[in-house]
Amino acid sequence: MPERFSLPQLLGHKYPHPTTAAEALERLLAGNRNFVAGRRQHPHESQRRRAFIAEQGQHPFALVVACSDSREAPEVLFDCGLGDLFAVRTAGQVLGQTALASVEFGVLHLGLRLVVVLGHSQCGAIQAALQSGNVQGAPGHLPALLATLLPSVEAARAAGESDLAEGTLRRHVLATVQTIREAEVLRGVPDLLVVGGRYDLSSGAVELLT
């Protein structure tokens, strides 16, 4: 017979489950501070935790929309463990229909009230958009991805940004936040907090942009 656990055992007394979006955000930021300082707690990585969430289902406390870049792993940089985060990852954290549907699923079906859109420095997708002279000439499905980034590229250029990649990154994060906030099925969700952030690959620190 598999061992059965109670919800408090799943969540743990050392890492109490956040009950509000504000608490969830503070948990993420505290975890990032641990990561930057080299003091990760490695929560929720035990066999007991794994067995519980396999049997009882997932109970994440935050949703993170992040880039697919292997250097930006939300569970690592926020010092979280198994079942803590519902992550939606695409190149350049581009929010196409299926990615937005995943966000809607997390909010509507998992009851998540914190969504963090997390861009990062030295983003390859943004560099590709900046260097692309002919988006439609890109191979495969890349035109759709690059086209999503172009408005932020053009806005950064129009603003005369000295660092186009950084200016594009910040504008793209804010545009993605706005897209989620304006999603028809999410507008009426009470207490939903959608924020944007920037992860620095060198320092490991997360900076909130909203």
Q: Which has more confidence, 8 or 186?
A: 186
SS3 string of the chain?
CCCCCCHHHHHCCCCCCCCCHHHHHHHHHHHHHHHHHCCCCCCCCCHHHHHHHHHHCCCCCEEEEEECCCCCCHHHHCCCCCCCEEEEEEHHHCCCHHHHHHHHHHHHHHCCCEEEEEEECCCHHHHHHHHCCCHHHCCCCHHHHHHHHHHHHHHHHHCCCCCHHHHHHHHHHHHHHHHHHCCHHHCCCCCCEEEEEEECCCCCCEEECC
User: CA 13 to CA 59: how far, in whole Å?
Assistant: 15
pLDDT value of residue 58:
93
pLDDT in tens, 70-102: 999 999 999 999 999 999 999 999 999 999 999
The domain of 158 spans 7-208
How many structural domains comprise the chain? 1
pLDDT value of residue 136:
77
Residue 132 counted as domain residue: yes
Q: What CATH number corresponds to the domain at position 13? A: 3.40.1050.10
pLDDT value of residue 135:
75
pLDDT in tens, 159-174: 999 999 999 999 999 9
Over residues 169-180, mean pLDDT = 98
Over residues 186-192, mean pLDDT = 96
Residue 1 counted as domain residue: no
User: Is residue 79 a known part of a binding site?
Assistant: no
User: Is residue 80 a known part of a binding site?
Assistant: no
Residue 167 counted as domain residue: yes
Tell me if the pTM is above 0.85. Answer: yes
